[in-house]
Structure 1
Amino acid sequence: MVKTAIKRTVASIVCLAMALTICACGNEDKGPDYADDEAMQVIASGLEKRFEIADREATTSSEQLARAKDAIQAELDTDTPLKNRQFKNSKLQEQVISYINVLNEQKDVTKDYEYQSAEYTKQWGKAYDKRTQILKTFVDEYGLKLSGKDQEVLDKLVAEGAEAAKTSDEKETINKLINEAKFEKTDDGYGFYTYKAVVENTSNLTFTNVSVTLDLLDGAGVKHEEYTSIGNWAPGEKVELKTSSDINAKEIKQHVTFYDVED
């Protein structure tokens, strides 16, 4: 009787242990539900919905603005849930969030500025360039693809993104070169001063028709503008930026106002 009771007790303990093990395995944490594998599918779906609305006929300005708002909103509604998802690839997550933020920028432009006004066009262009550059990254690095005519539209956007990235790089390069220039002031006597800096083109770009404005701040903090320029500036060349003024500047700030890049 005692041995039988002991056997039954042991058997019960073993069964209970097995049941707990099976239950634990069934409730095992599978980890975060990462969005990496589906992110481009979501982005593609959002684009397709936007393109479908953008193709709708609209003749008047009010109809065109309403169409633009609806198209942006359709893409936002599709993509925004990705903002709260977890990603293994932090770079991909950053790009996805940046893309959603740009869509919101476009939405704000349609609300904050008169449709097709100068400021509307300016702000829309800024957001448009950001968006196309991110789309180019999605295509080049993460395999974003559509189909049929939608792919043709995406190809065009990516091409424009490449051009926007090129223009942005050129602008950043020339601004960096000029902004790093160290201007020296020379007292020429009779109330005149010369401001001069020697700058080397350390980039691989040839710049032409470079116009530079020097903001000369006097002792009272009043800004006075003077100008200097560069006709042609090839890689590796050093040029002298020079201007004269009757302002005895206490501070000098320079910035590029115009430039071209030689192909």
Structure 2
Amino acid sequence: MKRMFLVISLLFVSIIVAGCGTTSTKKEVKYYDNDFVTDLGKALDARWAYTDDEANADVVMTEEGYETATQTELDVIEKYQDLKFKDSKLKEAALAYINELKNGLEVAKTYGSDSFYDNWEKHYDSRTSKLIAINDIKKIEVSEKNQSILDELLASGKEVQTKNKNEDTIKSFADSLTFTLDEANSDESLSYYIYTATAENTTQLNFEYLFLDIKLIDDQGTTVDTQTIYENDWAANEKRNLEFTTDKTFSTIQITVNDYSLED
């Protein structure tokens, strides 16, 4: 009886020990969503501390200054590209922002070239729009003295997002246009061809003006002619007849948006 009791006791202890061992080996997964957003605020504060420091006034607007300001942010948040996030969209937005900062370092290296300022502006626009994507998921917090700078960045990012959305919409609209030969009014003997399209402004945007470039391409892939269509005061949902003429024969029409302006 004592022997059986001893065996049962040993089995019971073994089960408890095994259970404790299993529990101790389980590691709680650490997610870094909140840590990233907190450190992003600190990274922005650190960047602005550098750019606002009077001691750096002579270098801020140089290659060294652009690189240092950008690297200052990266030093704080680059580690998060390899850490786990619970929110996959936040992780995606974090990676996009980190990669844009890395792109900023590459652009900074071109300081002094003819293309630098255009490329830096593109980087700035892309960076601010990516900040918006993060802030829409989790609010970015910076020091009180820098809040107005962050607000300005986020406002700029909103403008960039709106502009990008509009450009995608207008491009899709241009791609949807279908021109056909107006045989009744064309004259093949004179190599005079009229192409028309009935188009409804489905963009939900009111154009002050819209320029479209029409590229005519033959079956060899050679551009044989280019034409431009200009429309002004084109309201959303308004239908118009678009037209261009050419004396060339072609197999493909390529339409691109040259320029546009939207009514306020």
> Is this a same-fold pair by TM over 0.5?
yes
Q: Contact 2:63/2:111 (CA < 8 Å) preserved in 1? A: no
Match of 2:85 in 1: 87
Check 1:236–1:16 CA distance in 2 against 1; reply closer, same or farther (3 A cut): same
Q: Deviations over 1:33-64 (max 9, x none)?
A: 21223221121122122112222344556862
TM-score normalised over the length of structure 2 = 0.89
Query: Which deviates further from its counterpart, 51-60 or 93-102?
Result: 51-60
Matches within 5 A, 1:71-110: 71-110=69-108
- Structure 2 residue matching 1:231: 3-state secondary structure: strand
- Structure 2 residue matching 1:213: 3-state secondary structure: strand
Structure 2: runs of 5+ lacking an equivalent: none
Q: Contact 1:178/1:199 (CA < 8 Å) preserved in 2? A: no
Identify the match of residue 166 of structure 1 among 144, 162, 166. 162
Q: Deviations over 1:15-46 (max 9, x none)?
A: 3332232232222232x221223221121122
For 1:256 and 1:63, the matched residues in 2 are separated by 34
- Structure 2 residue matching 1:221: 3-state secondary structure: coil
For 2:116 and 2:237, the matched residues in 1 are separated by 40
Structure 1: runs of 5+ lacking an equivalent: none
Check 1:180–1:232 CA distance in 2 against 1; reply closer, same or farther (3 A cut): same
1:38 aligns with 2:38: no
Check 1:21–1:45 CA distance in 2 against 1; reply closer, same or farther (3 A cut): same
Match of 2:15 in 1: 17
Match of 1:228 in 2: 229
- Structure 1 residue matching 2:237: 3-state secondary structure: coil
Identify the match of residue 149 of structure 1 among 145, 151, 155. 145
Q: Deviations over 1:73-100 (max 9, x none)?
A: 1211221111111222111111111111
Match of 1:139 in 2: 135
Match of 1:217 in 2: 217
Identify the match of residue 52 of structure 1 among 29, 49, 54. 49
Deviation at 1:137, TM superposition (A): 2.6
For 1:76 and 1:191, the matched residues in 2 are separated by 61
Q: Contact 1:135/1:158 (CA < 8 Å) preserved in 2? A: yes
- Structure 2 residue matching 1:205: 3-state secondary structure: coil
Check 1:59–1:210 CA distance in 2 against 1; reply closer, same or farther (3 A cut): same
- Structure 2 residue matching 1:48: 3-state secondary structure: helix
For 1:62 and 1:135, the matched residues in 2 are separated by 22
TM-score normalised over the length of structure 1 = 0.90
For 1:86 and 1:240, the matched residues in 2 are separated by 55
For 1:194 and 1:176, the matched residues in 2 are separated by 24
Deviation at 1:188, TM superposition (A): 2.4
Q: Contact 2:43/2:74 (CA < 8 Å) preserved in 1? A: yes
Note the aligned Cα RMSD (angstroms).
2.0
- Structure 1 residue matching 2:93: 3-state secondary structure: helix
1:239 aligns with 2:240: yes
What code does the residue aligned with 2:37 have? Answer: M
Match of 1:257 in 2: 258
Check 1:55–1:94 CA distance in 2 against 1; reply closer, same or farther (3 A cut): same
Query: Which deviates further from its counterpart, 102-111 or 133-142?
Result: 133-142
